Amino acid sequence: MTEPREPLAATPGRDRPLLGIACKLGAALSFVLMFACVRWLGPEFPTGQAIFFRSVIALVPIVLAAHLTGGLAMLGTRRLGAHAIRSAFGTVAMFCNFAAFKILPLADATAIGFAQPMFVVILAVLMLGERVHIWRWSAVVIGFGGVVVMIGPNVDMGGGGSLNGALLALAGAALAALAMIFLRRMSSYEHSITIAFYYSLTTMVAGFATWPLGWIMLSVEEILILILCGGLAGGAQLFLSYSYRYAETSLLAPFDYTAMVWAILAGFVLFGELPAQQVWIGSAVVIAAGLMILWRERRLGRQRALRATSL
């Protein structure tokens, strides 16, 4: 998933964890249903056209939330360069993810997307100079092993659409991780609503730029699906924003993986899909590796906090 995860550091006290968890669950469900809308449109629907309408409609609740939170002035920024870089990587990630979800079953694409924390660890070493020891490196290796388990059968079958979809989902996870690295730097001085606004603005412009490539005339059903897709996207971003307002990141992070539950249920109810055996196995391995990384980062965070208080 390519959306903001961490709000401004100066947000109010995070003393309502149950409300934060409820918002996080709502975000996970909203993102899955958004991608279900993309899948419903079908593989022939232009990706850029879907992203444009999704972004235009998503801007409405984001702007409304800004108005209710701190006024429209909070949408202003002096750091357009930082927003441009973060939004550029996030936009390409969105194109990859939308294309992947049009090809793959919901649960398959969702499970491959869970590789994002593994990419974050690697990029944190390369770009932020973070020191990573055996625990997290082991989790990265195990996690990518799970991805190979999920993608492997598509290679054996000679590739085609399934392999292309898997590779697009993996590329989307890598690019979303890259966007997350820049988001880490921005989260100390920009509110998550501001970040979401410029991200959606960028994806809207990028989506519209694909118009000369051949958009299609929309049916009433497609218009309704696109409206629903955009509303879910904007709602998901707001759910994320407020989840981190009420609860700590370390508490909320494991609930990202509830998206797999929603994806399996939505895939079965809407499309009659059930994950293949290798997807069950691979996703379990990837989720376990992700939880290992989260556990290790939480432990290191506590150690740094203890050292800081002892000085």
C-alpha span between 103 and 123 (Å, rounded): 28
pLDDT in tens, 84-136: 988 999 999 999 999 999 988 899 999 999 888 888 888 888 887 777 778 88
Distances (CA, A) of 226 to 16, 206, 301: 34, 17, 41
Least confident range from 115-124, 151-160, 232-241: namely 151-160
Report the pLDDT value the prediction gives residue 78, as an integer from 0 to 100. 81
Distances (CA, A) of 218 to 45, 197, 208, 222: 10, 26, 15, 6
Residue range 32-40: average pLDDT? Answer: 94
Report the pLDDT value the prediction gives residue 5, as an integer from 0 to 100. 40
Report the pLDDT value the prediction gives residue 250, as an integer from 0 to 100. 65
Residue range 175-200: average pLDDT? Answer: 82
| 3-class DSSP string for 36-77 | HHHHHHCCCCCHHHHHHHHHHHHHHHHHHHHHHHCCHHHHCC
Report the pLDDT value the prediction gives residue 26, as an integer from 0 to 100. 92
| CA geometry: angle 92, 224, 165, nearest 5 deg | 35
Residue range 202-226: average pLDDT? Answer: 94
pTM for the full predicted model: 0.83
